[in-house]
Amino acid sequence: MRSRQQRRGGGDHLSSFVSVAAILWVVLPVAAAKAFDYKDALSKSLLYFEAQRSGRLPYGQRVTWRGHSGLTDGLQQGVDLVGGYYDAGDHVKFGLPMAFTITMLSWSVIEYGDEIAAAGEYHHALEAIKWGTDYFIKAHTHPYVLWAEVGDGDTDHYCWQRPEDMTTPRQAYKIDTENPGSDVAGETAAAMAAASIVFRKSDKHYSHLLLHHAQRLFEFADKYRGKYDSSIREARSYYPSWSGYEDELLWAAMWLHKATGTPQYMEYVVSNGEGFGGTGWAMTEFSWDAKYAGIQILASKLLSVGNFSAAQKRVLKQYESKGEHYICACLNKNNGSNLHRTPGGMLFVRQWNNMQYVSSAAFLLTAYSDYLEEAGRDVLRCPAGAVRPQELVALATSQVDYILGANPMGISYLVGYGRRYAMRVHHRGSSIVSYKSSNGFIGCMQGYYDWYGRRGQNPNVVTGALVGGPDSHDRFRDHRGNYMQTEACTYNTAPLVGVLAKLHQQKSHQHLQEVTASSSLSYLEFA
């Protein structure tokens, strides 16, 4: 991983190959329409989070090439910060993207818990969430203190080591009343509020504990306002808060309303809608940094189930309008402000790690399609024409299928899925022989000398990782040093969990209908 602020362009050395591939893509549409095993993809996606675990791994750890790591995190500061997730291919624990990952995993379970359970993955989904929320409980050591980062990108990137061999400094960084961070505190509050809904049935005590932390964190975020990257400068080059903290405050309040039903949180969303940009910003992306589209979709869904005053409904309708701008932009149905698409059909926002925007768009499209049907709305009226709910699901499906291999390169960008996938992921633990196979210490620079530059595939498959993916012309270079395309992040995979579960359920239902119809036809012929 390199600085998230860099936006360098890629080379053109694959132009000729991709041109031929694009022609074949047009000539051979049947290849693009092949059936995908969404259940298998779902299982692999949840497995990825086990590869990203920091701390003392549990007995039931399924990713066996990983071992314990970061066991002294927080020791220097006198606090227990063991656990949590590494965000990508390095070993820094960045609080903002980690919290967004848990929010999206929780939202997936809230929306599609039955479908995840039907696929046999409900327990694994809850385990993935709890690994994050357990860490957040530790990191929230005082009502107005949150430890928001362990390690720093500059020193971490100097070394190429397995997490089990880490020799880089594990300095921990916090926000407090004098050094605020409303964005990271707000996102962590959102994550814990959403997770409290998930655990409400299975573990009421844990659910209450999460909600308590969420409420205190929101109070902290709102009372002591400021951007976290002004307090933790080490985060600026990696996860800068470009969108500010206002979206996270609205996001947290929205999730707290869903978790508690308390009027104060909805009133906060309504009264701050204009001032914080919730009813003003018309976005074409949804990410760890920019939450507005997610807030607006949540507001839309609340309209169909909540009992609100006329004044509140008017503001929520304004949120809904901006949320529909995002949906219409994905569908290419706005007049002018649409998401770019590659020749192969992938939604494209920017060159670096574009797949994060693809997976988050697929989730919001799927969730909004469900909302339209639940609300009895047959069509969504976009500026450039009306669309039916099924068209939203169709676009979401096309994006998932592109990820899984229906693309001009014919490669799966979900590692470990299919016969051909990214083999040289920019990931330290994956690219170096497992310590269980070779437990000799690998030093800071030794990893660069002996492993980073190898042309062969990674010795350990980081199954379920969604890599950054191709450029705006569908070109992808599977090279370990090509971190803009071959690095995976937890927040890339998290939104896929719900979508894959939904698509698996939909496919199973269609198959059952086909079998039933075929059986009925056979019976009639026999009769």
Tell me the catalytic residues: 90, 426, 478, 487
Q: Which residues of 387-405 are buried (b: 16+ CB within 10 A; e: fewer)?
A: bebebbbebbbbbbbbbbb
Long-range contacts of 392-396 (CB under 8 A, 24+ apart): 392/327, 392/331, 392/365, 392/366, 392/368, 393/365, 393/366, 393/369, 393/506, 395/330, 395/331, 395/365, 396/361, 396/362, 396/363, 396/365, 396/366, 396/369, 396/499, 396/503
Let me know if 450 is exposed, middle or buried by CB neighbors in 10 A (0-12, 13-18, 19+).
middle
Strand 172-175 with 340-341, pairing: unpaired
Q: Tell me, what DSSP letter sits at residue 492?
A: H
The C-alpha atoms of residue 413 and residue 487 are separated, in whole angstroms, by: 11
User: Taking CA 129 as the corner, what is the angle to CA 355 and CA 124, rounded to the nearest 5 degrees?
Assistant: 90
What amino acid is encoded at 126 in this protein? Answer: L
Whole-angstrom distance between the N-terminal and C-terminal Cα of the chain?
66
Q: Tell me, what DSSP letter sits at residue 382?
A: E
Tell me if 104 sits within 8 A of 170, measured CB to CB: no
Place of tokens 């000729």: 16
Rounded to whole angstroms, what are the CA distances from 193 to 87, 143, 186, 253, 264? 21, 15, 10, 9, 15
Strand 347-348 with 340-341, pairing: antiparallel
DSSP H/E element including 93: strand 93-94
- What tokens were used for 243? 């969108």
Q: Tell me, what DSSP letter sits at residue 325?
A: H
Count Cα neighbours of 295 within 13 Å in the Cβ-side half-sphere. 37
- What tokens were used for 445? 């620079």
Other beta carbons within 10 angstroms of residue 35's beta carbon come to: 8
The C-alpha atoms of residue 300 and residue 285 are separated, in whole angstroms, by: 17
Place of tokens 């039903």: 261
